[in-house]
Chain A
Amino acid sequence: MAESKDKKPYAEEYAINPGDFSAIGEASTKFKATLAMLGVPSDVVRRASIVAYEAEMNVLIHGGGGKIQLVVYPGSIELTASDKGPGIPDVQKAMQEGYSTATDDIRELGFGAGMGLPNIKRNSDAMSLETEVGEGTVLTAIINFTR
């Protein structure tokens, strides 16, 4: 990857509009193209794509829309997804595989396996979930180029 020490990190951000289900994955698709263009290693692109896509789905489905940002540093990627939705009352529970509050309608569309947050955790090197009931949720994930 071409870079210089004094260069500002590359950043890209998209709004995730409430209710626009057919657009889920658009931002992640753009991130994936950007990362490939920047010459980021393909396994890193793959992990970042999974994290971004899961985060995007959660912002729209559970958070009622928000935004997602990609920042590319010389040796790592930072993804931040934020919303002003209902927040997560029990983060520990939400992190468990299979735990989902998705309705049957949502499940029919293919979301709600309760695997999103565990997938994000597995594919990132660091992850934080700041959330407050009634205020919203900010998820940050770091993916290092070398694990």
Chain B
Amino acid sequence: MNLTEVARILRAEVIWGDEFLDSVDVTHAYGADLMSDVLAFARPGTLLITGLTNIQIVRTAQMLDLPAVLFVRGKKPQDSAVALSKEVRLPMLVSPMSMFEACGLLFQNGIHPCTVPVREG
């Protein structure tokens, strides 16, 4: 599914990156509000869904070569985060939906989860 479709399903506003929406294709998504959680489980090519709006979320995405970030609960990224995302060409979207609803709709539309290994104990 490309980002144009993601934006339509999640009624998302595009903060920046309009020109990339058609060409960026996502197959997997990962939702988290903690950086290390993303670093542990997001596989390459994953759409990052988060409520974090600081510059580190962009660096986290960049470290993993994630293709785009979607902010939930209508949270707008901080100016410094937007500036860095433009520099590294990471498109940003904002959906008014909750994390649960946004993830649920994407799942319903065929986006896959990232595998989380089974824990012992």
Q: Which residues of A contact B (CB under 8 A)?
A: 21-22, 24-26, 28-29, 32, 46, 49-50, 53-54, 57, 97, 107, 109-116, 118-119, 122
Contacts and interface: CB of A to CB of B under 8 A. Distances in A.
Contact of B64 (A29, A46, A97, A109): A46
A119 B54 CA distance: 21
B62 interface: yes
A42 to B, nearest CB: 8
B118 interface: no
A116 B39 CA distance: 9
Given A112-B34, A119-B36, A28 B57 contact: no
Looking at B35, B55, B64, which has the most chain A CB atoms within 10 Å of its CB? B35
B44 to A, nearest CB: 7
B37 A115 contact: yes
Nearest to A48: B63
Contacts of B80: 22
24 contacts: A21-B56, A24-B56, A24-B59, A25-B56, A25-B59, A26-B59, A46-B44, A49-B63, A49-B64, A54-B36, A97-B119, A107-B34, A109-B52, A109-B54, A109-B56, A110-B34, A110-B52, A110-B54, A110-B57, A110-B60, A111-B34, A111-B56, A113-B37, A115-B34
A32 B40 contact: no
A144 to B, nearest CB: 20
Contacts of A25: 55-56, 59-60, 62-63
A119 B60 contact: no
Nearest to A26: B59
B33 interface: yes
Interface of B: 33-37, 39-40, 44, 52, 54-57, 59-60, 62-65, 80, 119
Nearest to A57: B35
A79 B54 CA distance: 26
A110 B56 contact: yes
A29 B85 CA distance: 13
By Cβ-Cβ distance, the 4 closest A-B pairs, closest first, are A25-B59, A115-B36, A113-B34, A113-B36
B36 A116 contact: yes
A95 to B, nearest CB: 13
